[in-house]
Amino acid sequence: MSAQRPLAAFAILLTLAGTVRAQIVDLTEGPMIDNFFRVEMTMKLSGKTRFQQEGKNLSQPLNVEARHEYVEKVMQAADGIVDKTVRDYKVAEAVLKIGYQSSKKTFQPGHSLLVTQRVRGQNVTFSPRGNLTREELELTEHFNTLALTGLLAGKQVKVGDSWTVSKTVVQTLCALEGLVGHDLTCKLEEVKNDVAFVKVVGSVDGIDLGVNVKILIKAQYQFDLKTKRLTSLSWQQTDDRAPGPVSPALEADVNIHVVRSAIEQPAELNALFLLGTIPQGKEPPPELTLIAFTDSAKRFEALYGREWIMTAHQADHTVWRLMNRGDLVAQATVVPWKKLPAGRMVAYQDFVDAISKTENWQESKRIGKDGEERIDVPNGNKAFRYSAAGRLADLEVEQFFYVLASPQGEHLLVTFTMSPNQVKDLDNRDLYFLRGISFPSARIGGGQGQ
């Protein structure tokens, strides 16, 4: 009999162990709308960019360290993920090292209050207090916690159960413009002390800025069963990005850690303040989503749509490229030109003669009306346009040339270049871009041109 007692005890232990393994828990986030959260996040990226220069394949090390801390109020949510939130950033900084060069990004004063919302499958972040610069916008493009709760099962599961993450959540978490495919899967690994531990693994194939992106993910998050909140996440991913029209190829390892907690309403997000500050509706006002740019020599400023990506800013020229659903549509080049006495503008024929001397440009025919073509622009500025088809460095292109002059006599040459089959896709966005350019001297009532 004594020999049977250990066997009986062992059988009981096996039964109990089976009960623990079969424990059922509900992995559903508690109410989100009108609730408040504190999020702390760190990110480290280590990798290299690859590019060609003078026919040679080159690479350059890239390292980024970023830290964010913010309190937020959830304004809209659907299907278990957040659609709109207002955030007050307590900390937002990133140190970028490319080769031997290092730079640090932070927000301008007054731009720490931001709204982030999903618009037609893409996240849009803006400041209700003024337009963000491209550097500030990039600072907000951290790991997307809007879709964090989309990793939850949203139902009762038991230890050992797995579920596939939805396409919407994958695309949002990975900040992709398009999703080709994925096998990202979550698995409930353990339940201990009212905390569920979930493993996330898989691969993602997508499109961003017109290039293919392949991502491998290994992550784990914790879910507090008492508070019904996802409280922390450790996320590791390996990126392999192809070269594209606005970015070089990239290989990188990324490590992200997120701590998230529900909090009481903070004073800076009180309802009366938000009511008078935050735009209502499911889409932000278009004027608040424009990007603000100031030339490093303060010769001109620009407000432009986010589909324009700056690819170069030198002393003698600045270049943007227009992207539409991953396709390169056109290139805009802004060149500071001559300074004339206040109230004077370059003669139209002198403008046309300058175009004919453009390096590597061979005009084949003029497009549009003959003679002088004036363009309506704001702020007392004046503009001419000249459009032509021809060859630029052995490529068949069409170019829209503009000269923009301020009342103080400053001049800019603005050129839009595209393949003939992309002209229709440019539509009137060249005019919107041109009309977003201004001269600081006009605002301050004078000043010396370049």
Residue 375 maps to which CATH number? 3.40.1000.10
Question: How many domains does one find in the chain?
Answer: 2
The enclosing H or E element of 13 equals helix 4-21
What was the pLDDT predicted at 442?
Answer: 63
- How far apart are alpha carbons 166 and 149 in whole angstroms? 11
What residues form DSSP beta bridges with 185?
164, 201
pLDDT mean across residues, the chain: 91
What was the pLDDT predicted at 443?
Answer: 60
Are residues 243 and 317 located together in one domain of the fold? no
Which residues in 14-25 are b (16+ Cβ under 10 Å) and which e?
eeeeeeeeeeeb
Domain boundary among 277, 312, 334: 277
Q: Report yes or no on 449 lying in a domain.
A: no
Q: What is the pLDDT of residues 318-346, one digit of tens each?
A: 999 999 877 899 999 999 998 999 999 99
What was the pLDDT predicted at 1?
Answer: 44
pTM of the full structure:
0.86
Non-local CB neighbours of 380 within 8 Å, separated by 6+ positions: 406, 407, 442
What was the pLDDT predicted at 448?
Answer: 38
Helix (H, G, I), strand (E, B) or coil at 382: strand
Domain boundary among 223, 246, 277: 277
Domain boundary among 277, 303, 319: 277
Domain region containing 397:
290-444
- How far apart are alpha carbons 337 and 345 in whole angstroms? 11
Give the number of other Cβ atoms within 10 Å of residue 371's Cβ: 6
- How far apart are alpha carbons 80 and 47 in whole angstroms? 34
Are residues 250 and 314 located together in one domain of the fold? no
Longest dimension (CA), the chain: 113
Are residues 305 and 272 located together in one domain of the fold? no
Looking at residue 231, its amino acid is T
Q: Name the burial class of residue 393, with classes exposed (0-12), middle (13-18) and buried (19+) by CB atoms within 10 angstroms of its CB.
A: exposed
Are residues 252 and 296 located together in one domain of the fold? no
What was the pLDDT predicted at 11?
Answer: 52
Are residues 201 and 335 located together in one domain of the fold? no
